[in-house]
Amino acid sequence: MYKAKSIYTEVALSSIMENFSKEEKILSVPEELKIKAACFVTLHTVTGELRGCIGTLEPFRENLYEEIWGNAKSAAFGDPRFPPLKEDELKEIEISVDVLEQAEKVDSIEELDPKIYGVIVSCRGRRGVLLPDIDGVDSIEEQLSIVRLKGGIGPGENADIYKFRVKRYH
């Protein structure tokens, strides 16, 4: 079974395990998780394939602990791209938690770097998001193409672009 390497992934794993009646919510919230922050919880198979990813761009829960808890459940059981996680898959899953810094509007795509910055592209109520440092995404153009596709935003549409950094925990 997956072994959490940080308090961030420990909370995510506990949230997922609760659905299998194996863990209960940690009652005392660790200091570093009492802050308000947005986050993404990502599940990958041990071979590197995406298995679920759900997150928030702005914090809307009481604290980061609750943000991780809710996003982990959603990534495991509510990502519409995948069937709900099964208990026997836990031995083949790796978890990461990305805690987001505040997004900044970009004036020029030269300000972007797919290894350092995640990207948000928005246009008339549609929005696409991509975390930074994704395997196989090596250029700004590729990153923007993926984000536009995710948001249903055509390549010729005038859109606002934002960048953000994350702290990634495994």
Amino acid at the residue 88? D
Residue 94: band (very low, low, confident or very high) from pLDDT cuts 50, 70, 90:
very high
Q: Which tokens go with 98?
A: 């990305």
**Domains 7-100 and 104-165 alike in fold:** no
Q: Please tell us whether the domain made up of 104-165 is placed in CATH 3.40.50.2300.
A: no
pLDDT at 2: 75
pLDDT at 162: 97
Q: What is the pTM of this model?
A: 0.91
Architecture of domain 7-100: 2-Layer Sandwich (3.30)
pLDDT at 25: 66
pLDDT at 42: 98
Per-residue pLDDT at 22 exceeds 70: no
Residue 76: band (very low, low, confident or very high) from pLDDT cuts 50, 70, 90:
very high
Tell me what the pLDDT averaged over the chain comes to.
Answer: 93
Question: Residue ranges per domain, the chain?
Answer: 7-100, 104-165
- Residues of 87-117 as b/e, b for ≥16 C-beta within 10 angstroms? eeebeebbbbbbbbeebeebeeeeebebeeb
Contact between residue 98 and residue 42 where contact means Cβ atoms under 8 Å apart: yes
| Half-sphere exposure at residue 168, Cβ-oriented, CA atoms within 13 angstroms | 16
Residue-wise pLDDT for 128-154, tens only, equals 999 999 989 999 999 999 999 999 999
